[in-house]
Amino acid sequence: MASKGIMLVCAAGMSTSMLVSKMQKCAEEKGINADIFAVSADEALTKLETRPVDIILLGPQVRYMKGKFEAKAAEHDIAIDVINMQDYGMMNGENVLESAMALIN
């Protein structure tokens, strides 16, 4: 199976790093080949040009930016969603990963 690119976007790219780690651990346990990484909102559109992405997951704190990303995501046939606030707050990597995979499979 080809690797799935999962890009998490937050205000500075820092608050999602723990969630990325938990998602990566869960992906490994489930045998999911995924490239999961976090970026700041400022660098997200640039990353789309340089790294394969299947889904953009916005942190709850940047949900207001969804419209900004939707047009670019549509151009590249990339799914986009906002991370569930409860899953984000609890750093539930498994739920976030499952939600992402449901949208890109």
Out of 6, 8, 9, 10, the active site residue is 10
- Which pairs with CB-CB distance under 8 Å and at least 24 residues apart come from 43-47? 43/13, 44/7, 44/9, 44/69, 45/69, 45/72, 47/7
Q: In what order do the strands lie in the sheet with 55-58?
A: 34-40, 4-10, 55-58, 79-82
Say whether 10 is catalytic: yes
- Catalytic (active-site) positions: 10
